[in-house]
A and B are shown apart, each in its own frame.
Chain A
Amino acid sequence: MSPAAVAFFGGKGGVGKTTLAASYALLLAGRAQRVLVVSTDPAHSLGDVLATPLGDEPTELGGGLWACEISGENAARRRVEQVAAEAREAVPREVMPAVHHHLQRAADSPGTVESALVDRLTDLLDEIGDRWDHVVVDSAPTGHMLRLLSLPTLLTPWIEGLSRQRERARGTERMLSGLLGRADQGEDPLLTRLHERRARLERTRDRMLHDSVVHLVLVPERLPLAETERTARSLTEDGLPLGSLAVNRVAPPEATGLLADRAHREAEVRATIHERFREHGVTEVPLLPGALTGRGELAGIAGILAEAGW
């Protein structure tokens, strides 16, 4: 079976999401796939791991690999500018201060940065099949990723409600126009825009539900395991497909000294992880020496993933 078009890497901060996401992207690129790896973590470190500066626009790194670091704040700012520019063409000049005021308010609204991030991600996902075959998402820590994944599903009915209200208002207006012998005003630009927004959200929701996989990453300790189980449950409830779990930084069993102690403690937790997540697959990545930055170093991890059947 070919891998899902989109792979999200999620888990607590510092467990190895960025390292594994970059390694997995390299693995896919090595299989003659065009791959984009994108960081959605406001505390970006993908550029550091790939040892190359990254921005909002995908940078081609060669060998079928692209990478970028996207930001909800920037996306929201760009949108405000774009809407304001369109408004300058369309509304009387004296209305513009009020337009700016309300746009700023929308920009400061609590959900805006996350919505803008999903919107930017949608742009990139829309290019699957065109610019790339796979998108690998290096996510922010758990709560943030869960919200991002559930956002399209949460917002779609709201937009639908707005469309319905607008249709109702337009229906009454049309009846009135007919009665007064006025010409029908034709297509409603507001309704058109609402329909476009809904179509966008639905496209991304469908991609998340039907063409994505979420790889949870954890380290072999008891507390992270409990959190991972909660996250897995929440994802499953939302209908998001869970992929192989990655247990990262596993102490080598043949270790001596301090590490031997650690390996001994990890053994029990690892056994529990294997038992709980067997149906999804569990891959162990050993604790590795070195800085783990740059393609050369990541290739080793890519190899481990390949061997585990990724």
Chain B
Amino acid sequence: MSPDSRAAPLSTRNSWHRVVAAWRRFEAFHDEMFVAPWRQGLEREARRQDDTFRALVMLDALGVENPVAYETMELIPHLVGDLHAWHQRMGQDTFGDPGTCC
């Protein structure tokens, strides 16, 4: 502890700043080491789940008979918007008959 009564808060402040800076560095490190890969994994997982759902609703477009085509008709406008990105992810450059997508 410093004998200077005015230096004490200052040094406390300094050490506080040091701690915060260290914490930030650690956070960045932690983020890079653990969170980022996890987030990427999660992003991949979210996309995979989304693609699975889209494929289930648009079975007809994949040439598979869809027993609930009538029931899920009103989902179609919500799903065709990003259809192009989807079929490219599915590894197909073009998709379906003319008019289906691109």
Q: Are A83 and B76 in contact (CB under 8 A)?
A: yes
Q: Are A106 and B81 in contact (CB under 8 A)?
A: no
User: What separation, in Å, do the CA atoms of A103 and B83 have in the docked complex?
Assistant: 14
Provide the residues of chain B in CB contact with A155, threshold 8 Å.
Answer: 67-68, 71
Q: Are A109 and B60 in contact (CB under 8 A)?
A: yes
Q: Are A91 and B77 in contact (CB under 8 A)?
A: yes
Provide the residues of chain B in CB contact with A165, threshold 8 Å.
Answer: 49, 52-53, 56
Q: Are A115 and B66 in contact (CB under 8 A)?
A: no
Q: Are B78 and A173 in contact (CB under 8 A)?
A: no
Provide the residues of chain A in CB contact with B49, threshold 8 Å.
Answer: 165, 168-169, 172
Interface residues of B in 18-74 (CB under 8 A from A): 35, 39, 42-43, 45-46, 49-50, 52-53, 56-58, 60-61, 65-74
Query: How many residues of chain A have a CB within 8 Å of chain B?
Result: 48
Q: Which of A5-13, A94-102, A261-269 contacts its partner?
A: A94-102
| Secondary structure type dominating chain B contacts | helix
Instruction: For the complex formed, measure the closest distance between the CB of A93 and the CB atoms of chain B, giving whole angstroms.
Output: 12
Q: Which of A63-71, A189-197, A217-225 contacts its partner?
A: A189-197
Q: Are B76 and A95 in contact (CB under 8 A)?
A: no
| Cβ-based interface call for B101 (8 A) | yes
Provide the residues of chain B in CB contact with A102, threshold 8 Å.
Answer: 58, 60-61, 76, 80, 100
Provide the residues of chain A in CB contact with B53, threshold 8 Å.
Answer: 162, 165-166, 169
Interface residues of A in 65-114 (CB under 8 A from B): 76, 79-80, 83, 86-87, 90-92, 95, 97-99, 101-103, 105-107, 109-112
| Cβ-based interface call for A175 (8 A) | yes
User: What separation, in Å, do the CA atoms of A116 and B39 have in the docked complex?
Assistant: 43
Q: Are A159 and B73 in contact (CB under 8 A)?
A: no
Nearest first, the 8 closest Cβ-Cβ pairs linking A and B are A109-B69, A87-B77, A169-B49, A115-B70, A106-B69, A172-B46, A112-B70, A98-B80
Q: Are A83 and B77 in contact (CB under 8 A)?
A: yes
| Cβ-based interface call for B99 (8 A) | yes
Query: How many residues of chain B have a CB within 8 Å of chain A?
Result: 35
11 A-B pairs (CB sep. < 8 Å): A76-B70, A83-B73, A87-B76, A102-B58, A106-B66, A106-B72, A109-B65, A110-B65, A155-B71, A162-B72, A190-B78
Q: Are A158 and B81 in contact (CB under 8 A)?
A: no
Instruction: For the complex formed, measure the closest distance between the CB of B2 and the CB atoms of chain A, giving whole angstroms.
Output: 39
Q: Are B43 and A176 in contact (CB under 8 A)?
A: yes
User: What separation, in Å, do the CA atoms of A86 and B39 have in the docked complex?
Assistant: 36
Choice from A99, A111, A175, A180 contacting B80 with Cβ under 8 Å: A99
Q: Which residues on A are within 8 Å of B, measured CB to CB?
A: 76, 79-80, 83, 86-87, 90-92, 95, 97-99, 101-103, 105-107, 109-112, 115-116, 119, 154-155, 158-159, 161-162, 165-166, 168-169, 172-173, 175-176, 179-180, 189-190, 193-194, 197, 201
Q: Are A176 and B39 in contact (CB under 8 A)?
A: yes
Choice from B45, B65, B76 contacting A99 with Cβ under 8 Å: B76
Q: Are A90 and B77 in contact (CB under 8 A)?
A: yes
Q: Are B78 and A95 in contact (CB under 8 A)?
A: no
Q: Are A169 and B60 in contact (CB under 8 A)?
A: no
Q: Are A159 and B71 in contact (CB under 8 A)?
A: yes
| Cβ-based interface call for B75 (8 A) | yes
Instruction: For the complex formed, measure the closest distance between the CB of A9 and the CB atoms of chain B, giving whole angstroms.
Output: 25
Q: Are A101 and B99 in contact (CB under 8 A)?
A: yes
Choice from A76, A105, A119, A162 contacting B56 with Cβ under 8 Å: A162
Provide the residues of chain B in CB contact with A179, threshold 8 Å.
Answer: 35, 39, 42
Provide the residues of chain B in CB contact with A201, threshold 8 Å.
Answer: 71
Q: A115-B70, A193-B74 are in contact. Are A173 and B39 (CB under 8 A)?
A: no
Q: A86-B77, A180-B39, A193-B75 are in contact. Are A169 and B99 (CB under 8 A)?
A: no
Choice from A103, A166, A176 contacting B42 with Cβ under 8 Å: A176
